[in-house]
Structure 1
Amino acid sequence: MGYITAHDGTNLYVEDVGSGEPIVFLHGWPANNNMFEYQKNALVEAGYRYIGIDFRGYGKSDAPATGYDYETMASDVHMVVYGLGLKDFTLVGFSMGGAIAVRYAADYKEDGLKKLVLAGAAAPIFTQRADYPYGMTTDEVDALIDDTRADRPKMLEGFGEIFFEKEHSKPMQNWFHHLALVASSHGTIASAQALRDEDLRDALPKIDVETLIIHGVHDKICPFAFAEQMEQGISNARIERFEESGHGTVLDEREKFNDTLLQFVQ
């Protein structure tokens, strides 16, 4: 555990636990790497090395005023990979982290990426376009941003209500809510603006590693159509349907998620 410095001097917190083949995790909006607690435990017990990055503005990382676009965040991932000397690693990107994983896989082909997992990824586009009828409208994301500015804890509570398909214990819900509360408010807003505005359709054909797409059939945040669009755009990709999950596959079907991941990285 420690910090890696990004190109602009931002200190990025990295949790590095275990040994063996490295699996790098990129968290969703607006949590931090601790959302993968139950994946970390399973991987370490199976003999893998868990590496979880807190994006800038989240968790224990610095929270600069700028740098929340996908290109910069992918560069941050590159600096962690370079700083730790990783080769032949699997990258797991969840939700916003999945979008950044797509950008990274397309732009940093020489880093040694072996396999890619996109779990409930906010890609190729998070918001609707004239030629892309999937996801939230820009007005809906703008309302989410306005709610963040007005009452961030309440916004997070509402966001949490549509995150999972299954009902989880109140302590578990409180724990997950806390992960988002510790994020910076300006990073939360700037990342939502990136989710609203960025388009990764050009990046999908550039990905040439084996890719597993994990997606909940009942996802209310990143509709299942996202998975189908990614499968069409990435040459070596396949979808694993999570029939009992919403957006939060990591908890809705925790055992299936862990088993599917372990089978894929072997």
Structure 2
Amino acid sequence: MGYFVPVEPGVNLFVEDINQEGSKTIVFIHGWPLSHKQFEYQFNILPALGYRCIGIDWRGFGKSDKPISGYTYNRLADDIRMIVSTLQLDNFSLVGHSTGGAIAIRYMSRYSGYGVSKLVLIDAAAPTGFTKETAKDLLKETLNDRPKMMQGITDTFFFQYITSSFSDWFFQMGLEAAGWSTAAIIKLLRDEKLDADLPKIDKPTLIIHGIHDKVIPFAQAQELDQKIRNSQLVPFQYSGHGPFWEERDKVNQLLTQFI
């Protein structure tokens, strides 16, 4: 079922909550500039195996409200904390992809991993995000021709072949976001770093990363593995930035084994 959760006055976030009777809970945080829909191929499988799967659209993206402000790691982590409190979640696994992985890292450090039993980072945009040059180009396209920017993201996201129909679906998902929130996250990925957050993570952490990732280099996953205690890195040999789709069966199997 889907519903809205208030995180601050006038701002409500959309939550997709599948199989509320599941014995174990997994909270999914999507990447930029997408929505919880990116995890469709996890939601197809994991709830039927007994997991409660909660997908959150961040502010500015998907079906959530789209305020003009609040696009910092602290505020985005605060939003997650509000949802955790409202839903009274405890002993859950937190899964973050790309920028969602960065938000998950800030949540872990800012709130001492409140309620989290295990952390999964999928091609996380951490400890750094975009270079100044990449951010400059993306900002220019976002503010002048956002569909062109989104097409470029779609074209570079995957290592494996995607059909034109899948490309269209993925493309439209990115355009559900507001232009201003899309731009604000580009600036966030350019300006904020997460190096100081990593030593504060003390929960078992699974790091999944495609070796062909053109968005966040595999070397950053290796750095995360070195700096996060009690972590394990699993390289995905046939994935770019989207192993949740490119090697979805392997992702789903790893999640069930780890969680």
Q: Which TM class, normalised by the smaller chain length? A: over 0.9
Q: Which residue of 1 aligns with 2:168?
A: 174
Corresponding position of 1:220 = 214
> In structure 1, the residue corresponding to 2:46 is in which secondary structure?
helix
Counterpart of 1:111 (choices 87, 92, 114) is 114
Letter of the 1:14 counterpart: V
Whole-angstrom CA distance in 2 between matches of 1:245 and 1:202: 28
User: Distance between the aligned counterparts of 1:190 and 1:181, measured in 2?
Assistant: 15
Identify the match of residue 80 of structure 2 among 71, 77, 80: 77
Give the structure 1 partner of residue 246 of structure 2: 252
1:8 positional shift: 4.4
Structure 2 length as normaliser, TM-score?
0.97
Matches within 5 A, 1:120-199: 120-127=123-130, 137-199=131-193
1:55-70 residue pairs with structure 2 within 5 A? 55-70=58-73
Structure 1 segments (4+ residues) deviating >2 Å: none
For 2:127, give the aligned amino acid: P
Partner of 1:130: none
Give the RMSD, CA atoms, in angstroms. Answer: 0.9
Letter in 2 for 1:230: L
Instruction: Determine the C-alpha separation between the residues in 2 that align with 1:147 and 1:98.
Output: 24
- d(CA) in 1 for partners of 2:182 and 2:153? 13
- Structure 1 partner of 2:30: 27
Residue 14 of structure 1 corresponds to which residue in structure 2?
A: 15
Question: Could you tell me which residue of structure 1 aligns to residue 196 of structure 2?
Answer: 202
CA contact (8 A) 2:142 2:149 kept: yes
Asked if 1 retains the 8 angstrom alpha-carbon contact of 2:113 and 2:203, the reply is no
SS in 1 for 2:229: coil
Consecutive unaligned residues of structure 2, counting only runs of 5 or more, are: none
Mapped partners of 1:110, 1:245: distance in 2 = 29
Letter aligned with residue 224 of structure 2: M
Shift of 1:7: 3.0
Amino acid at match of 1:250: F
Q: Secondary structure at 1:29's aligned position in 2? A: coil
| Deviation for aligned residue 1:111 | 2.2
Whether 1:47 aligns to 2:50 is yes
CA contact (8 A) 1:82 1:111 kept: no
Deviations 1:199-225 (A, max 9, x none): 100000000000000000000000001
CA distance in 1, matches of 2:160, 2:59: 30
CA spacing shift, 1:238–1:146, aligned 2, 3 Å:
same
C-alpha contact (below 8 Å) 1:216/1:224 kept by paired residues: yes
TM-score under structure 1 normalisation?
0.94
Name the % identity: 47
Contact 2:101–2:121 (8 Å) recurs in 1: yes
What SS does the aligned partner of 2:121 have? strand
